[in-house]
Structure 1
Amino acid sequence: MNIPKKAGVTGAVCSVMAIIALVVSSGEVRTSQNGLELIGNAESCRRAPYMCPANVLTDGIGNTHGVKRGVVKADQQIAADWEKNILEAEKCVNRYANGTTLKQGPFDAAVSVTFNLGCPAMQKSTMFWMFRQGRITDGCNQFPRWVHAGGKVLPGLVTRRAAEKSLCLTI
């Protein structure tokens, strides 16, 4: 596949670790390095738009906002988009899962699943209800329920949810 070169950007993939470094250096996100690595590695990083398994035009690290066909992004734009998306997921966790009281592991795991599925899917979930009730372990045990897309169990989601559950249980 020929990837157009734009503003000195080459290649279709980018480094998740380089993007994490840019996001962490801004100091705006609460999500830890471990949480960012879980999300970044599960999503991967691509400079050019692609269709994700849910058939949504996506770029960067799971970014679906303002994606334009044919636009290849540099690390700085990918990091800015990702930081905005992470902050959006954090806001949802804080509001609907009592995130300000969650310890780092459960918070990071909740941000990861919210980043992946969106706030509307999570805000009324049993998992978030349990977090609001202070039932953290019970909430962490809800991750394996979120492995379906298009009516099918996706192996990638099984792997991601297991990692999120494990991170969540590091209380």
Structure 2
Amino acid sequence: MSKVKIAGGAVCSVAAIIAIIAIILSNGQVRTNDRGLELIGNAESCLRDQYVCPAGVLTDGIGNTHGVKAGTRKIDAQIAADWEKNILQAEKCVNTYAAGARLSDNTFSAVTSLIFNVGRGAMQKSTLFWMLRQGKEADACQQFPRWVYADGVKLPGLVTRRSKEKALCLDGV
């Protein structure tokens, strides 16, 4: 996915942020497995400075859009804390609207990645979530390729991401 950088563009390590969450922050709160975290982190990339995402939203860290302030460079601990909050919000949506407690870790992680990217509002009434609530996980996994558009434009980065999410989802069925 292409990003329009606003400042410097200093990168950070997705692996380092995952390690901070695993060791220091989450205390077992984050359910998304390592494959899911790597998928999200690598798809979003990790930038210490702000950028405007393809949807036109000011973003920093690993896909963080909450409380982003232009001209602020974040350190790994801040990026990890923001990312953990965002992951937990996405997981809450999966649990609330997609029967997340019944899902395998791989399917849960794939759906969390999708929510992290497209947002809760778009997914709550989606066919994919309906299928998950009905226990039709394999059918739900087939829905991932439908979510490859931003502002009506099919984005190659989203096609790649959805393919990886679909494979992870199906690995859990």
CA deviations over 1:50-71 (Å, ceiling 9, x no partner): 1011110000000000000000
Q: Distance in 2 between matches of 1:136 and 1:2?
A: 42
Task: Please report how far the alpha carbon of residue 24 of structure 1 lies from its aligned counterpart in structure 2 after TM superposition.
Answer: 1.5
SS in 2 for 1:84: helix
- Report what 1:41 is aligned to: 42
SS in 1 for 2:171: coil
Root-mean-square deviation over aligned CA pairs? 1.2
Q: Distance in 2 between matches of 1:107 and 1:86?
A: 12
- Report what 2:33 is aligned to: 32
SS in 1 for 2:49: strand
Aligned match of 2:18 in 17, 20, 23? 20
Moved over 4 A (4+): none
Structure 2 residue 114 is matched with structure 1 residue 113: yes
Task: Please report how far the alpha carbon of residue 2 of structure 1 lies from its aligned counterpart in structure 2 after TM superposition.
Answer: 7.0
Unaligned runs of 5+ in 1: 4-10
- Report what 1:58 is aligned to: 59
- Select the structure with the greater relative contact order (CA < 8 A; seq sep ≥ 6): 2
- Report what 1:167 is aligned to: 168
How many residues are paired up?
164
Task: Please report how far the alpha carbon of residue 76 of structure 1 lies from its aligned counterpart in structure 2 after TM superposition.
Answer: 0.1
Q: How many percent identity over aligned positions? A: 66
CA deviations over 1:38-61 (Å, ceiling 9, x no partner): 000000000001101111000000
Task: Please report how far the alpha carbon of residue 75 of structure 1 lies from its aligned counterpart in structure 2 after TM superposition.
Answer: 0.1
* Range with bigger deviation, 11-20 or 28-37: 11-20
Q: How does 1:95-106 map to 2 (within 5 A)?
A: 95-106=96-107
